Amino acid sequence: MKFLKINIACLFLVIMSCKETNKQANHNLQIDVYETSAKGNKLTKVSEFVKTDSLVTIKLNPKQTFQTITGFGGAFTESSAYLLNKLSKENRKKIIDAYFSEDGAHYSLTRTHMNSCDFSVSNYSYTPVEGDKNLEHFSIEEDKEDLIPFIKEAMAASTDGFKIFGSPWTAAPWMKDNNKWVGGKLLPEYYDTWALFFSKYVDAYKAEGIDIWGFTVENEPLGNGNNWESMHYSPNEMTNFVQNHLGPKLEADGKGDLKILGYDQNREHLKEWVDSQYKNEETSKYFDGTAIHWYASTFEVFPEELQYAHNKAPNKLLIQSEACVDAEVPVWEDDAWYWKKEATDWGFQWAPEEDKHRHPKYAPVNRYARDIIGCLNNWVDGWVDWNMVLDTKGGPNWFKNWCIAPVIVNPDTDEVYFTPLYYTMAHFSKYIRPNAKVIGLESSDNSLMATAAQNPDGTIAVVLFNQYKTPISISLSLNEKAIDISIDAKAIQTIVIPKS
C-alpha cells in the first residue's frame, strides 16, 4: 500500500510537470525567421540560434500604430530595360520574376522617368517639335522598344500588381529659359503646356495597358551640379505650378485621383519645401505628399526633417523616391565587398569641406538596411531604389555617371549576379506589404536596428539589422507570448509572426 501511494504521488508530479511544460509551450511565440548575412545566408530560413552574452529585449505593440505603408521597390529605367533586351529570355525572366513575383522580392511601388534621364542611352523627349504648345506631336515611341515591355512583363509576373509613379528630369529644351537639356527653368509661357504633358503621358501609357499611379513634379529641382538632364524650381515656383497648373489640369481631365508628390530631392532641405507646399489649404490642395532622396549623407537619416514633414502634413505621403550606391563601379560576384566599409559616394571627393563628415566610406548593405529602417521609424511610407539592373561598368549611362544596382549583368556573356543589396531590399518588400501599419516596438538596445509592421492579413513582420561583428541574442515578445532567438554578426533578419 505504501508502494502504491508513492507511485500515485510520483504520477501526480509528472502530470503537473507536463501541464507546466505545456503551459510554457503555449507561451512560445510562433515565428519564421529569414536571414541574409555576411557569412552567406541569402534570405535563408533559419531555425537554429546561438546564445550570446549580449541580450536585447524587443517588445511589440500592435495597438500603437503609425504610418500606412505604400510600398517598396525600384525604378524602371531605359538603362535597365536596354540590358534586359540583351539577355537571354531565360535570364530576362529570371530577373523580372526575382523582383516582382510572389516568390521573389514582390515589389509593390515603382518609379520611372518621363523623357530621358541620366540612366538613358541618349537624350530624348516625348515632345520633340519646338513650339508645339498643344503637344499635337506628343509620342512615347521611344519607350516602346525597352521601357514598356519591361513594365508589362513585370505586371505579368506580379500577383498583386504594383504602383508606378513617373518623374520628369526635364522638359524639352525648347520649353526652357536656357534652351538646354541641363539646368534652366521652365518658361512661364509653357506652364500649361507642361501640365498637359503629364496628362498626355497618362493617356499614352494607358493605351499601352499601363496605369500610372502618380508623379513627382520634378526630379531634383535644386539641380545636380549641371551634369545631366535637369530643370530647376524654387519651392514656391513648384507650389505655384502644382496649385495653378498641374493640379487643375489633371482634375479637369478626370485624373484628379493621380498622386502628386512635391520636392523629390535630398532630405536636408525638406523643411523649406514642405513649408511652401503646405503653407495653407490652397497650396496643399493638390499635393498628395512629398518625395525625398538620400544623397545628402551616407549615414544621416535626417530624422528631424522627416518628423517635421510628417507633423506639417500628417495625412500626406512621405516617399523615398530614389536611392543607390552612387559614384561606384559594381563589384562583380564578391558578396563580401558589399558588407565591407569600402564604398564611397559622390560627396567623398566633391562635397563641400563642411559636409565631408557626411560622406565617409561605408558598407553598401549597411547603407540600405540602416536607411530603410530609419525611414520607417520616422514616418516614411514608401522606399524606392533606383535602377533595378545595371552592367559591370555601372551603366549604360550617357553621362557615364556610374552606379550600382541590386542586380548586375554581363550582357556579353549572359551572366546575372544578384548582389546582397537585392536580398536586403527583399527583406522589406517581400514581407511588409502595401497597407501594412508600422507598429510600436520597444527595444532595450537601439544599436540593434529594428522596425515592425502589421500587414493587412494580420501577420507581423519585424526587420532587424545587426551591423556588428558579433551575434546578438534576442528576446522577442508580443502580447503574452515570447521567444528567444539570435541574429548573426553582420546580418539582416525578417521575423514573420503569423496572425494570432
Position 374 confidence tier, pLDDT thresholds 50, 70, 90: very high
- Centre a 10 Å sphere on the Cβ of residue 236 and count the other Cβ atoms it contains: 16
Spatial contact of 444 and 80, defined as CB atoms under 8 Å apart? no
Spatial contact of 58 and 441, defined as CB atoms under 8 Å apart? yes
Cell 556610374, residue located: 402
Spatial contact of 360 and 298, defined as CB atoms under 8 Å apart? yes
Task: Look up residue 33 and give its three cell numbers.
Answer: 525567421
Sheet holding 32-37, edge to edge: 44-46, 32-37, 491-497, 460-466, 449-454, 437-443, 55-68, 472-478, 481-487
Bridge partners for 477 per DSSP = 59, 482
pLDDT digits (tens, 9 = 90+) for 62-99: 999 999 999 999 999 999 999 999 999 999 999 999 99
Residue type, 261: L
Instruction: Give percent of the chain with pLDDT exceeding 70.
Output: 95
pLDDT digits (tens, 9 = 90+) for 105-127: 999 999 999 999 999 999 999 99
494: three-class secondary structure by DSSP: strand
* pLDDT surpassing 50 at residue 21: no
Q: Say what the pLDDT of residue 27 is.
A: 62
* pLDDT surpassing 60 at residue 19: no
* pLDDT surpassing 80 at residue 147: yes
In whole angstroms, give the CA distance from residue 419 to residue 410: 13
* pLDDT surpassing 50 at residue 7: no
Spatial contact of 499 and 31, defined as CB atoms under 8 Å apart? no
pLDDT digits (tens, 9 = 90+) for 320-362: 999 999 999 999 999 999 999 999 999 999 999 999 999 999 9
* pLDDT surpassing 90 at residue 188: yes
What mean pLDDT do residues 164-179 have?
A: 98
In whole angstroms, give the CA distance from residue 136 to residue 129: 9
In whole angstroms, give the CA distance from residue 258 to residue 239: 17
Please tell me whether the peptide bond between 396 and the residue prior to it is cis, using omega within 30 degrees of 0: yes
In whole angstroms, give the CA distance from residue 238 to residue 251: 18
CB contact set of 395 (below 8 Å; sequence gap of 6+): 79, 119, 402
* pLDDT surpassing 80 at residue 12: no
Q: Taking Cα atoms as reference points, which of 175, 185, 201 lies closest to residue 236?
A: 185
Spatial contact of 45 and 33, defined as CB atoms under 8 Å apart? yes
In whole angstroms, give the CA distance from residue 492 to residue 431: 13
403: three-class secondary structure by DSSP: strand
What mean pLDDT do residues 468-485 have?
A: 97
Q: Say what the pLDDT of residue 416 is.
A: 98
Q: Say what the pLDDT of residue 500 is.
A: 84
Position 1 confidence tier, pLDDT thresholds 50, 70, 90: very low
Q: Measured in whole angstroms, how far is the alpha carbon of residue 444 from the centre of its chain?
A: 27
By residue count, the chain amounts to 500
Task: Look up residue 311 and give its three cell numbers.
Answer: 507633423
* Predicted model pTM: 0.94
Cell 510600436, residue located: 440
DSSP 169-225: S---GGGBTT-SSSS--B-GGGHHHHHHHHHHHHHHHHHTT----EEES-S-TT--S
Cell 513648384, residue located: 238
Q: Taking Cα atoms as reference points, which of 274, 222, 424 lies closest to residue 335?
A: 424
Spatial contact of 320 and 373, defined as CB atoms under 8 Å apart? no
The number of helix segments (H) and strand segments (E) in the chain equals 13, 22
Residue type, 166: G
Compute φ and ψ for 453, nearest 5 degrees. Answer: -145, 145
Q: How far is CA 339 from CA 172, 365, 385, 428, 430, in A?
A: 41, 6, 18, 18, 21
Where b means 16+ CB within 10 Å and e means fewer, 321-332 reads: bbbbbbbbebbe
What mean pLDDT do residues 164-192 have?
A: 98
Sequence-ordered alpha helix ranges (H) in 416-460:
420-429
Bridge partners for 466 per DSSP = 491
pLDDT digits (tens, 9 = 90+) for 389-411: 999 999 999 999 999 999 999 99
Instruction: Give percent of the chain with pLDDT exceeding 90.
Output: 93
Q: Say what the pLDDT of residue 17 is.
A: 44
pLDDT digits (tens, 9 = 90+) for 25-65: 346 999 999 999 999 999 999 999 999 998 999 999 999 99
Q: How far is CA 361 from CA 152, 346, 364, in A?
A: 38, 11, 9
Task: Look up residue 367 and give its three cell numbers.
Answer: 547603407
* pLDDT surpassing 80 at residue 255: yes
The mean predicted confidence, pLDDT, of the chain is 94
CB contact set of 77 (below 8 Å; sequence gap of 6+): 112, 113, 117, 119, 120, 147, 386, 387, 388
Spatial contact of 108 and 433, defined as CB atoms under 8 Å apart? yes
In whole angstroms, give the CA distance from residue 76 to residue 405: 12
Cell 533559419, residue located: 46
